[in-house]
Structure 1
């Protein structure tokens, strides 16, 4: 039995689709089961509630052998550590008592780099990876750069003003990956009961691009000018605060972006195994263009 968290989120939903296509037995933890399509509800076991709740976790883990673990966004958390290790504590305790053998989790690049020591959610994700491994499970941490889908948060800005922004320099070349590719890697691991031990699995997309290069590709695909604008870190943090983030989480997000600007995501050498197929141009054609042009 595979237990899957965040089945209505972007990564979880796509991973679930792949598991069901393979006819795998799946149990999902979901806050509101009505958000699942009826066809999905008929094919999975459902445990309703938060996967940060010990009672929910105990029910979900009973008889399970594999877990897909993804910490949901908690922008109001009092600290970044609370948002990751704190939220995951019931699951960490339950892994030791319920016999779950394998865990695939969503994490971040940067292990072993000086930038990762003060990188907000990245630092917390890597610490959570260590806690998961310490339970004794076989563990694969999907370590990733920023997602292409993050740009969808700026759809209106791209549409109305022909621009997108970040505190990261426009010249910094970095990997970026599509959520469909993350789900494909996750599902393959969840369906394979032959792997053991603890490893990181980088998911890097097919190429490194700067924001300036991404703006050129977006302009060509959208057939309208799009430019990148670097914004001051204070402005980035203040915008997160305006949208309801706690001080700690807003600062943590800024720390992460500054770490990326200093090379956090460039430490892993790209290989055929870590390169995933969806190019940024293809993603713009399939996802961004419909979103912007409607």
Structure 2
């Protein structure tokens, strides 16, 4: 079985690649920068220089591929939705041209809304497009990544986190490694077929208040959280250099899911994974502080 992995150096991909290797698979890594793959890893994979937003490149790279782990790469242009549409064109073209039989797509909680969730709308468009393909497709509806806290490292140092979400509203938080584990098992498992949605909710739902308390407990100093206005957050994004459309898309991921949103799949033994936030903080965030 020939398995292709996109964004193999990303938060999920770097774990997934190693899991597949340990399972005895020699995965094909599609990456714009194969030179950045460590030599020790490169010896166990097939590297193909590929831009996931270039359909022709993706089609050429995936000839003979049986299964693919697809990630829409983060938006880079002033028009984020156009970036997502280009990535969608790429995966659909590859699946159809090369008759790829199985796709595991890294989507997000909120994609089930289909519209009104900011940048997540781009993932929803990919889901809809893949629904029209003849391949067996699994949509991993992932919760809020622990790794998003890495972008908040300076805020954690100052002891003040800011969010536009209600600070006591619970939501799913998940470690990227747990997503990789679900992805690896799904790629290697031949017992499922058709269209399947698989939520990856992490070990427990957490509020921002609880996250701040866990951070304070692990770091041994005060960390608190405050809710700020949408416009204030948008202005912070703009000051950080985001184009206006990107700022709106990123903000929309929070505002679009805060009013009465309930994930399509509830928390259960099927959607719950193991890694606790405080363990991730010790291993990944504290060394940076």
What range is the shorter-chain TM-score in? over 0.9
Residue 264 of structure 1 aligns to a residue in which SS? coil
- Which of structure 1's runs of 4+ aligned residues deviate more than 4 A? none
Specify which of 115, 125, 128 is matched with residue 127 of structure 1: 125
Specify which of 224, 230, 236 is matched with residue 239 of structure 1: 236
Q: Name the residue aligned to 2:249.
A: 252
* Rounded Cα–Cα distance in structure 2 between residues aligned with 1:98 and 1:77: 32
The structure-2 alpha-carbon separation of the partners of 1:103 and 1:267, relative to structure 1 and needing over 3 Å to count, comes to closer
Q: Does 1:90 align with 2:90?
A: yes
Q: Name the residue aligned to 2:186.
A: 189
Q: Name the residue aligned to 1:108.
A: 108
Residue 257 of structure 2 aligns to a residue in which SS? helix
Q: Name the residue aligned to 2:59.
A: 58
Query: Which stretch of structure 1 is more off in the superposition, 60-69 or 119-128?
Result: 119-128
Q: How far does residue 256 in structure 1 lie from its aligned partner after superposition?
A: 1.5
Specify which of 147, 150, 168 is matched with residue 148 of structure 2: 150
Residue 115 of structure 2 aligns to a residue in which SS? helix
Greater RCO, 1 or 2 (C-alpha within 8 Å, sep 6+): 1
Q: Does 1:264 align with 2:261?
A: yes
Residue 3 of structure 1 aligns to a residue in which SS? strand
Across the two proteins, how many residue pairs are aligned to each other? 288
* Rounded Cα–Cα distance in structure 2 between residues aligned with 1:230 and 1:291: 25
- Contact 1:181/1:276 (CA < 8 Å) preserved in 2? yes
Q: How far does residue 186 in structure 1 lie from its aligned partner after superposition?
A: 0.7
The structure-2 alpha-carbon separation of the partners of 1:44 and 1:112, relative to structure 1 and needing over 3 Å to count, comes to closer
- Contact 2:162/2:226 (CA < 8 Å) preserved in 1? yes
Let me know the Cα RMSD of the aligned residues.
Answer: 1.7
Specify which of 177, 193, 203 is matched with residue 206 of structure 1: 203
Q: How far does residue 24 in structure 1 lie from its aligned partner after superposition?
A: 0.5
**Structure 1 unaligned blocks of 5 or more:** none
**Structure 2 unaligned blocks of 5 or more:** none
TM-score by length of 2: 0.94
Q: Does 1:45 align with 2:46?
A: yes
TM-score by length of 1: 0.92
